[in-house]
Structures are given as structure tokens and as C-alpha cells.
Amino acid sequence: MKKQTTTIQLDNGLEVRPVAMLVQLASQFDSTIYLETDNKRVNAKSIMGMMSLGLIMGADVVVEADGTDEDVAVEKIVNYLSGKEA
């Protein structure tokens, strides 16, 4: 299992379109992937779960992945959330 904390640097936080893109990105990996913030933990491959987090720019989030491609999954999702990859 791999975990990494990052700060959301997307201009509008995680609104519908960025959440859909994040879910699409997470779904490319075999690993189970969760995002956690403020004692809420949701499956990153679930659009409804991700929308329930209501993440905004500047929010800290823990990205957690467990599986064969966990290292790459965490790296790519952290890069997306930090605005390095769109």
C-alpha cells in the first residue's frame, strides 16, 4: 500500500468535470484507490463518492492505492490534483 498527501491546486477545486476526469484516470489502474480528507474516505473510481467529498482548491487530501500498480497510480493522481497533469 502506498499513501501520499497532496494539496489540490485545480482552479475550481473538484467540480463535476475535474471529478469525472479524476475518476477516469483512477479507473485506468488495477489498484484500489481511495481519497481521504476530513475523516471521509471514498473510492476514487466512484464518481458519486468523489462528488460527496466536495473538495476545493487548497484542500489537503490523502491519496492511497493498493495493488500491482500502486506507485504509478499514486504518482499520476497526485500530479493531477496538484495541477501538474491535466
Cell matching residue 5: 498527501
- Contact, 64 vs 11, CB < 8 A? no
The chain-wide mean pLDDT, for the chain, equals 93
For the chain, what percent of residues have pLDDT higher than 70?
98
> Model confidence at 42, in pLDDT bands (50, 70, 90)?
very high
Integer Cα distance of 31 and 26 in angstroms: 9
For the chain, what percent of residues have pLDDT higher than 90?
77
- What are the residue ranges spanned by the domains of the chain? 2-81
2-81: CATH superfamily: HPr-like (3.30.1340.10)
Integer Cα distance of 23 and 45 in angstroms: 5
Asked if pLDDT for residue 56 goes beyond 90, the answer is: no
Integer Cα distance of 33 and 17 in angstroms: 19
Integer Cα distance of 28 and 59 in angstroms: 24
Residue type (1 letter), 30: D
